[in-house]
Amino acid sequence: MMCFVEGFKYAYVVSLALVAGAVGGYFGAGIGDEGGFCGSCESGKVVEDHVYVEESEMIDAIEKVSPAVVSIVEKKEKPVSFFESFLPEAGGGTGFIVSKDGYILTNKHVVSSDKKVYKAIFSDGSEYDVTVTSKDPFDDIAVLKLDYSGDKDLPFVVFGDSDNLKVGQKVFVIGNSLAMYGNSVTSGIVSAKGREVYAYNDFGGSFQNFYGLIQTDAAINLGNSGGPVVNLKGEVVGMSVATAEFADNVGFAIPVNDLKPVLASIKEYGKILRPVLGVRFLMLSPSDAKELNISVDYGAILVSGQFVDQPAVAKGSAGDKAGLKEMDVVLEVDGVKVSLKNPLHKIIRNYKPDEKVVLKVLRDGKEIMIDVVLESSG
């Protein structure tokens, strides 16, 4: 059955109640720092101790990536009171620059409102307006464009290969924690790969299914949504998207290899276009197969939703035109096995709209081959 993981929410904050508490904590921390508890401090200077190679690698990686990480916030009027000047920017999230001309990747829920104007804040405090160029029709991904006319090229990140990530590998996260502390860094390891999560947004009330996520114990705090997950080479390997509400150090990120087709689409079409089959599906597990009395324990079974307007195969879609039917099990796409670790949507997204694929399908206990011409999400 589909793994509905309750208690997960987007790493996103707009709550002033939470922020007000954080402001009090900020002043308290300032008082505590004067209590003389810094055992390695002399005359306000930190005595440099032995720095291990691993620590040096992480420091170098942070310094490499951090200039390209920005806080994404809603634009608002100038504060009219002393207290308001200490409040964080509304709608805090994170993004990272992916090109020298100022394209930014972030989560779609960070810039969810079409009526609001957003800006990017760099770690040095400089601010620039951004335009929401495109939002992914399926994934929690958005592309922004920085309104920048300077003479110098902007800093931008380098992508790694998320398929090569290993469980136990060290990573770190950079983000606008609590919408107050921009470019905060937390570190941890890759806890697992290929996670399926059903996440919700406390503030927007929206729900979304995620497949193939990276799980990490590096703290993904509220406000980190859209920030980079980085390896020790300084390569971005994922984008923070959700965190567990009732657990410590259980966060999730979209693999960077799922972001690469987005940028390719922007470059080719000027917006995010996805190849689509036009089907609803459930990834089969061995327990699902046993429960449904299906002879295979892998693949994507085409199923309808809870409502009348959620058919297994959308009328007039690519799948409908090719003859796909409800309860068909898609086993392979062009010879590539469909599985929980390599779900149907991930395989399809390696193609372009209008490309033809050959599906191996299990129907009524028999395997058949079906040709499908993919269509465009836009």
Show which residues are catalytic: 109, 140, 225
254-274 b/e with 16+ CB inside 10 Å = b? bbbbbbbbbbebbeeeebbbb
Extract the tokens encoding 32.
Answer: 């505590």
Quote the CA–CA distance of 193 and 252 in Å, as a whole number. Answer: 9
Smallest Cα–Cα separation from 173: which of 242, 213, 219, 140? Answer: 219
Q: How many CB atoms lie within 10 A of CB 88?
A: 23
Greatest Cα-to-Cα distance within the chain, rounded to the nearest angstrom: 78
Q: How many CB atoms lie within 10 A of CB 104?
A: 29
Quote the CA–CA distance of 212 and 196 in Å, as a whole number. Answer: 6
* Angle at CA of residue 158, ends 67 and 128, nearest 5°: 40
Could you tell me the sign of the dihedral formed by the alpha carbons of 62, 180, 240, 249, in that order?
positive
Strand pairing report for 158-159 and 235-244? parallel
Quote the CA–CA distance of 347 and 334 in Å, as a whole number. Answer: 10
Give kind and range of the element (H or E) at residue 175: strand 170-177
